[in-house]
Amino acid sequence: MTEQTAEDDLRGGTAASPGPKALGQAGLWRLWQGLTTILEAEHDRWVLWLPVALAVGVTVYFALPVEPPRSAGLAAVAVSSAASFGARRRMPALCLLLGVVAAALGFAAAQERSHWVAAPVLKRAVGPTAVTGRVVGVEALPEGARLILADPRIPRLAAEDTPARLRLRLPARFPAPLPGSEIRLRVMLRPPPPPSAPDAYDFQRAAWFESIGAVGWAVGAPVELTPPPSSPWQSLGIAVERLRGVIAARVAAVVPRPEAAVVAALLNGRQNGIDAATMSDYRKSGLAHILSVSGLHVALVAGLVFFVVRALLALVEPLALRHPIKKWAAVAALVATFAYMPVVGAPAPTLRSVLMHGLVMVALLLDRNPLSMRLVGFAAAVVLLLQPESLLGPSFQMSFGAVAALIATCESMTGRLHRWYSEAGRLGRAGFYLVGSALTSLVATLATTPFSLYHFQQVALYGVFANMLAVPLTSFWVMPWALIAYLLLPFGAEAVALVPMAWGVAGIDAIARVTATLPGASLRFPAMPGEGLLAIVLGGVWLVLWRRRWRWWGAVAVIAGFATVPLAPRPDILVSGDGKLMAVRGADGGLLLSRRSRSSFAVATWLQRDGTDQPVGTWPRVGSSADETLACDQLGCLYRPVDAAGQTLVALIRDPQALLEDCRNAQVVISPEPARRCPAPVVLDHWHLRRDGAHALYLDGGRVRIDSVRAHRGSRPWTGP
């Protein structure tokens, strides 16, 4: 046997007649060569996947059911870095390992951030009690104010058990103190509440990363013990907080409500003072992004300052002819952009936009192309390293999703857009602007829709049209007057700019209000599963980061992600963490509530995640519900879901006296009181609810699937013991 024949035999056949194994290997080899060729052609886009790898590492950290060892993240960075150094001469392996290094770095950043912000959390409700602390934040609310107290002192609570910060609600009848002052007031305190349903918004986690260990409300007026610092430079943070308060007060003195709250939000970044009806109109019309200071506002500030400064310098002929006034204008815009950020706060969208526009101005200074996807990648990497927890919030996701989609669209159409614009006349260019505005709104709306579905369970149907009207009004009227108001503020003459600014805001309010009243303005959907959002994000990233035709493979994942919305099952029973509030699904698919609760946050969360605004009713005190799925008496209710075909009987306990009989007859027993020695197959009592939090139960033909808050979150630093 010759060497060639042996080689052919090892491959599965002869050279003349290759076997199936050889054909399979050849196919895989051709596929590998094709992928390698495509990847080589996209080599300039490889670096864009590093922030994606960072995000993967952050996601893995937050998805873990238990907290990993403190050294896990840094050890992963060290090991993967050493491996990548060893593979530095093998390009495919090096690129893959650099992605692993970035993922490990994201994991380590999230872990270190979690430990860096760690602070004591209140273990039980306290109050009423006197609390002394320093005011570091004051946010106006429609009815009162919200205070952030740092370094609080709480009687009969050891220093090591005292939270670093408190968040308190102050009723409107009490005057709000100035930031920086030390106050004493009587309050009711409780630990930050857990999610109201599995996979719902996790306020406990958000509070952990703000070092807020307790929330509550004041039951007495605050007494000032120490006035705020006389010099604003004694504490830059306090100075900024006071400035934001001054802006809100100046606006309220000149602008009537409800425009005053919106004007103040655009100037100081605080949306809390906007009433619920106005916020609802903005959300339903797809204009909520105008209220959130982000890319649009920062872009307008940077652009307006750049063009105004450059135009003024151009009027001075010696400067225009002998000096680089374009670069001087870029420096002025850069300074204005970074000065704007602390005034409006630094959430993820603002930080992203400031970083991107700062790089744009630096690129102008260096005579480089200022617009590219690498700007988005750089900004995402910085935000993920500084605020890794922001990845989980809608602000980060919607902001970066919209910007990445817009830049990808521009990259694919730049040549054609430039040709169309250069060939168009004046009328054509005006139409070009309208078409561009519509296209921008459409792309941004499509890019943010999955995040709106996942976090808010709604889609603004007329958002494109509302944005075509409201964005130009914001760009060419509202924000220029906002900049003038900033300039006039130190001289007390801000009213000159605030009044016309309020006219523009009134116009935007009208657009939002009219759009929100149109039929079907806001479509509601049940909550999208996390797996669906993940598929859409991965598919969307594949679409926007690559340039060649293979990027359209990502559309398959996007479509699959959207398909999970109608296919996802909805819970048949919902139970709050204390068991005092329950809901069951009626025959018509709506939710029946055990009672109308004054604390409506849990109810609002359940209804929102169910894709509706109102429950179909409440449980009868005695008797049967209209659809006969519930039969109630003074001791409790028996629920027989329609989909279970009568095979599952659920006992919903009101009084412990019902336990003896119901534990013998029901397949599922749910009780807010302890149910020891209950022989029912499935029992959720006081101890289960206290340990695992809110529950969702899915009933299907006699089978019971149970989901809980604890099952989703695991045991992490912010979940408590």
Report the 10 Å Cβ neighbour count for 240. Answer: 17
92 shares a domain with 146: no
Which residue among 83, 116, 149 closes a domain? 116
Confidence of residue 8 (pLDDT cuts 50, 70, 90): very low
Q: Identify the pLDDT of residue 11.
A: 42
- The DSSP line for 320-384 is HHHS-HHHHHHHHHHHHHHHHHHHH---HHHHHHHHHHHHHHHHHHTT-----HHHHHHHHHHHH
Q: Any idea what the Cα angle at residue 140 is, between residues 138 and 142, rounded to 5°?
A: 155
305 shares a domain with 182: no
**What is the rounded average pLDDT of the residues 51-73?**
94
pLDDT in tens, 200-243: 999 999 999 999 999 999 999 999 888 776 655 557 677 778 88
591 shares a domain with 468: no
Q: What CA–CA distance (Å, rounded) separates 601 from 168?
A: 17
pLDDT in tens, 328-344: 888 888 888 777 777 77
pLDDT at 606 over 70: yes
Q: Identify the pLDDT of residue 617.
A: 85
433 shares a domain with 377: yes
Q: Is 174 a member of any domain?
A: yes
Q: Is 121 a member of any domain?
A: no
316 shares a domain with 258: yes
Confidence of residue 107 (pLDDT cuts 50, 70, 90): very high
583 shares a domain with 556: no
Its domain, for residue 60, covers 18-116
E strands, 418-533, are 458-460, 522-524
Q: What CA–CA distance (Å, rounded) separates 267 from 251?
A: 9
**What is the rounded average pLDDT of the residues 78-90?**
87
Q: Identify the pLDDT of residue 6.
A: 41
262 shares a domain with 369: yes
497 shares a domain with 348: yes
Q: Is 11 a member of any domain?
A: no
Q: What CA–CA distance (Å, rounded) separates 141 from 275?
A: 8
**What is the rounded average pLDDT of the residues 143-148?**
89
Q: What are the CA-CA distances from residue 35 to residues 31, 269, 389, 419 (Å)?
A: 6, 47, 34, 33
Q: Is 12 a member of any domain?
A: no
Q: Identify the pLDDT of residue 33.
A: 73
- pLDDT > 70 fraction of the chain, expressed in percent and rounded: 88
pLDDT at 413 over 50: yes
Structural domain count of the chain: 5
327 shares a domain with 275: yes
Q: Is 140 a member of any domain?
A: yes
pLDDT at 662 over 80: yes
pLDDT at 690 over 50: yes
130 shares a domain with 31: no
pLDDT at 69 over 90: yes
Q: What is the 3-state secondary structure (H, E, C) of 408-431?
A: HHHHHHHHHHHHHHHHCCHHHHHH
Q: Is 42 a member of any domain?
A: yes
Q: What CA–CA distance (Å, rounded) separates 545 from 130?
A: 55
Q: Is 681 a member of any domain?
A: yes
594 shares a domain with 447: no
- pLDDT > 90 fraction of the chain, expressed in percent and rounded: 39
Q: What CA–CA distance (Å, rounded) separates 22 from 15?
A: 10
CATH code for the domain in which residue 162 is found: 2.40.50
pLDDT in tens, 485-539: 988 988 888 899 999 999 999 999 999 999 999 988 888 899 999 999 999 999 9
Q: Is 2 a member of any domain?
A: no
Q: Identify the pLDDT of residue 639.
A: 93
pTM for the model stands at 0.86
662 shares a domain with 520: no
Which residue among 65, 90, 116 closes a domain? 116
